[in-house]
Amino acid sequence: MGWFEYRNGVLYAESVSLVRIAEEIGTPVYCYSNAALKANYKEFADAFGHRDVLIAYSVKANANQAVITTLSDCGAGADVVSGGELQRALAAGIPGTRIVFSGVGKTQEELAAGLAAQVHQFNLESKTQLESLSEIAAKQNVKAPVAFRVNPDVDAKTHDKIATGRKADKFGVPIVEARGLYDLARSLPGIEVVGVDLHIGSQLTNLEPFKDAFSRLAELVNALRGDGHDIRQIDLGGGLGVRYRDEEPPTASEYAELVDTIFGGFDCQLIFEPGRALVANAGILLSQVIEVKHVSERRFVIIDAAMNDFLRPALYDAWHPIDPVCEALVDATREIVDIVGPVCESGDVLGIGRPMSFLAPGDFVAIGAAGAYGAVMASSYNTRPLAAEVMVHGGRIAIVRPRLQLDELIGRDRLPQWLGKPTNPLDEHGAT
């Protein structure tokens, strides 16, 4: 079932009209469906039946507390990559024991915070991280549970900027060096080796790269066990793709079947870090047309959402569905338009060359599958306040992040004293 569907010609989120949301909350606004989040989680979890798995939702995809809480209520743990994400996951009620701490560059403070939270597993990406963590843990007389994120040198066949498992990518430790690092880890006082980890990229639409990477990882687990390491947790990262346009990504059960074929015989806990697969299609970005402008041969529909609100089209040339909130008649004339934002960059695009029915200022449009890597990647470029976020549940609407107000945004700036404006009440905090 779709969670964003037309009813009598108007697009709804569950049982709430998007016109109502736009009018009550204003635009641009992200809108998430609670039911979609739960259904996505259930589909993923059901694919693994009652095997010993930890589904550690990758918080980076959508870090709103309401989203994390919804998923954690379904049983999710969390995958975090910074002290901030760790704090968010803890704040949403996920215990440290259900959190895996990933991240290519963890500071000493972050490692210490992970230890304090008693995270389930640190996914380490270098010898330096290992040694720092051991030192911090040993001082506290504790042992940190660790896995190495290995780089299997597999091309995930996804967008170049989100492939992470090729040998020239910055992530992980080369798989060929892993055994040496595990031996070193065993010799350190503050470390307990518990598992292995990989994540080869995001938005994978084919099982082949997973298969290659997982097979290499399985060989490594055998070798490590042969070396006497007690590998009891295997973290397979995230990466399962979703349909934005016409992609046909593997289903959760096809993915689970592959995992079973390779790891079925290993007596261990399997950890997954899905992000996009749980949240992408659970959110849309609702926006209003400001103006329609004809320049030379081109028709620009300028809307009030921009690259600062939703960066994926500008950054990755990502294609997202864009639909009018009031459904076009089947036989309505369509014109090819570029849907763009008001930010002062030609790269500020949301959709290029789209056949759209006639749109006029004041009309609302919905940018689809914007629940993952949408609000989290927003900025306030052009002094555009971060968009509001709402969640719907049946016929109910909750504002899960109010729109940032301009005075809050501007009021964060401080004037240095030397500018000689003593009226600034915040002067005392300014630089001297």
Active-site residue list: 344
Span of 195-203, 282-290, 320-328, 417-425 interacting with ligand LLP by CB under 6 A: 195-203
| Smallest distance, ligand LLP to C-beta of residue 303, A | 20
Which residues are bridge partners to 80 per DSSP? 101
The whole-angstrom separation of Cα 270 and Cα 187 is 25
Q: How far is CA 198 from CA 191, 230, 275, 402, in A?
A: 19, 18, 15, 36
Q: How far is CA 2 from CA 345, 349, 365, 377, in A?
A: 34, 26, 17, 25
What share of residues in the chain are helix, strand, coil (percent, to 5)?
35, 25, 40
What are 414's two structure tokens?
């401080």
- Interface of this chain with ligand LLP, residues 382 to 421, rule: CB under 6 A: none
Task: Establish if 77 lies at the interface with ligand LLP (CB under 6 A).
Answer: no
Task: Establish if 207 lies at the interface with ligand LLP (CB under 6 A).
Answer: no
Nearer to ligand LLP, 12 or 263 (CB): 263
Task: Establish if 203 lies at the interface with ligand LLP (CB under 6 A).
Answer: yes
| Smallest distance, ligand LLP to C-beta of residue 193, A | 19
What are 410's two structure tokens?
């501007």
Total number of residues binding ligand LLP (CB under 6 A)? 21
Name which position in 34, 40, 58, 62 contacts ligand LLP (CB under 6 A).
58
Element of type H or E holding 108: helix 108-116
| Smallest distance, ligand LLP to C-beta of residue 10, A | 29
- Interface of this chain with ligand LLP, residues 297 to 316, rule: CB under 6 A: 312, 316
Three-state SS at 74:
helix
Task: Establish if 275 lies at the interface with ligand LLP (CB under 6 A).
Answer: yes
| Smallest distance, ligand LLP to C-beta of residue 275, A | 3
Which residues are bridge partners to 287 per DSSP? 365
| Smallest distance, ligand LLP to C-beta of residue 59, A | 9
The whole-angstrom separation of Cα 400 and Cα 389 is 5
Nearer to ligand LLP, 275 or 324 (CB): 275
Task: Establish if 281 lies at the interface with ligand LLP (CB under 6 A).
Answer: no
Largest Cα–Cα distance of the chain, in whole Å? 72
Task: Establish if 239 lies at the interface with ligand LLP (CB under 6 A).
Answer: yes
| Smallest distance, ligand LLP to C-beta of residue 431, A | 34
The whole-angstrom separation of Cα 251 and Cα 260 is 14
Nearer to ligand LLP, 12 or 44 (CB): 44
| Smallest distance, ligand LLP to C-beta of residue 280, A | 8
Task: Establish if 276 lies at the interface with ligand LLP (CB under 6 A).
Answer: yes
Burial of residue 158 (CB within 10 Å: 0-12, 13-18, 19+) is buried
Burial of residue 352 (CB within 10 Å: 0-12, 13-18, 19+) is middle
Name which position in 14, 79, 153, 304 contacts ligand LLP (CB under 6 A).
79
Nearer to ligand LLP, 195 or 274 (CB): 274
Q: Which sign, positive or negative, has the C-alpha torsion 46, 47, 52, 57?
A: negative
Nearer to ligand LLP, 14 or 309 (CB): 309
Task: Establish if 237 lies at the interface with ligand LLP (CB under 6 A).
Answer: yes
| Smallest distance, ligand LLP to C-beta of residue 111, A | 16
Q: Please, which contacts does 102-106 make with residues 24 or more away whose CB atoms are closer than 8 Å?
A: 102/149, 102/197, 102/199, 102/273, 104/170, 104/171, 106/132
Three-state SS at 257:
helix
Task: Establish if 18 lies at the interface with ligand LLP (CB under 6 A).
Answer: no
HSE (CB half, 13 Å, CA atoms) of 118? Answer: 4
| Smallest distance, ligand LLP to C-beta of residue 417, A | 40
Nearer to ligand LLP, 17 or 126 (CB): 126
Per-residue contact string for residues 316-335; x = within reach of ligand LLP by CB under 6 A: x-------------------
Nearer to ligand LLP, 44 or 263 (CB): 44
Task: Establish if 274 lies at the interface with ligand LLP (CB under 6 A).
Answer: yes
- Interface of this chain with ligand LLP, residues 91 to 110, rule: CB under 6 A: 102
Name which position in 162, 328, 352, 409 contacts ligand LLP (CB under 6 A).
162
Q: Which amino acid is at 18?
A: L
Name which position in 57, 210, 263, 373 contacts ligand LLP (CB under 6 A).
373
CA gyration radius, the chain: 24
Q: Smallest Cα–Cα separation from 200: which of 247, 155, 136? A: 155
**Which residues would be at the binding site for ligand LLP (CB under 6 A)?**
58, 60-61, 79, 102, 162, 199, 202-203, 237-240, 273-277, 312, 316, 373
